[in-house]
Amino acid sequence: MILTVTLNTALDITYRVRELRPHTSHRVDEMTERPGGKGLNLARVLAALGHEVTVTGFVGGVTGRALRGLLTRTPDVVDALVPVSGSTRRTIAVADTTTGDTTQLNEPGPEITPAEWADFQEAYEVLLRSSSAVALCGSLPPGVPVGAYAQLVRTARALAIPVLLDTSGEPLRRGIAARPDIVKPNADELAELTGSHDPSQATRDARRRGAHAVVASLGAEGLLARTPEGDWRAAPPRPVRGNPTGAGDSAVAGLLSGLVEKLPWPERLARAVALSAATVLAPTAGEFDRPAYEELLARISVTPQTTAA
């Protein structure tokens, strides 16, 4: 079983409008709701790839009940979310169907009490004992210590459970020092972490900070990976346009499923890039277009990179 952790879960709401214009009213052509937050997006893709997945994190309030109700309709995903007194946040995506652009509005999340954080840590350790790998994903809700991910990484490592960390800012800075197996920042997150805007230099610096492998998302240009087994660049065969919501989470699903299946790194990276591109092409935010994925997978370019001193 793969465990995904989303401390700041969300009810994702997507509105589709013909044209998004500031200072005007809009008629919504289509509205969708789904369980959201990085780890829940990741779980949905892992399940579609045939893996057993359990999700945990915090959930509460009316929004939380709606999220859990929708989660029951997600095949092969087990709900192990921890209830809290606050209300789960909402994220609003407004998709302009004329331009293909999306505007995102994200609420901060509920205030987590020290007792709720302690309850979560107990539940997390129990879940780890039956897990093959764990992904720690997304932002921290208010009240959770900034070093939370570092603590959760250390707990997983103490039980010899491979751990992937996908967060940003100070939680990433502290979490990477706990030596996760994989970190997956985007270019901006990597630059904030290392101070370097050169992805090659920045991934090298990030590994020196503690991560066993660093996989940097370069947007439409694919992924750059620095690993103990070598360095690679993976890129899609063509640019893709659409809604990028969840594309990074799909890339994480490719990396984590590849880790569990013990695939060589080039195959993991090809899967990650193909899933990410197929998510951009999907008609529903956060899903992936399976025919597009299967077509792209055979055409992803994965090239070794020369390691500088």
User: What pLDDT sits at residue 307?
Assistant: 61
The 8-class DSSP code of residue 301 comes to E
Strand 82-83 with 53-59, pairing: parallel
Quote the pLDDT of residue 286.
66
Rounded Cα gap, residues 144 and 95, in angstroms: 31
249 is catalytic: yes
Length of the chain counted residue by residue? 309
Q: Which of 166, 181, 249, 289 is catalytic?
A: 249
pLDDT (tens place) for every residue of the chain, 309 residues total: 999 999 999 998 889 899 898 889 999 998 888 899 999 999 999 999 999 999 999 999 999 999 999 999 988 999 999 999 999 999 988 888 888 788 889 999 999 999 999 999 999 999 999 999 999 999 999 999 999 999 999 999 999 999 999 999 999 999 999 999 999 999 999 999 999 999 999 999 999 999 999 999 998 889 999 999 999 999 998 888 777 778 899 999 999 999 999 999 999 999 999 999 998 888 666 688 888 888 889 899 999 987 654
**130 in Cβ contact with 2 (< 8 Å):** no
Q: Which of 264, 273, 266, 267 is nearest to 293 (CA)?
A: 273
Quote the CA–CA distance of 308 and 288 in Å, as a whole number: 36
Distance CA 67, CA 59 (A): 8
Model confidence pTM above 0.85: yes
Specify whether the CB–CB gap between 35 and 58 falls below 8 A.
Answer: no
Q: What is the reported pLDDT for 309?
A: 40
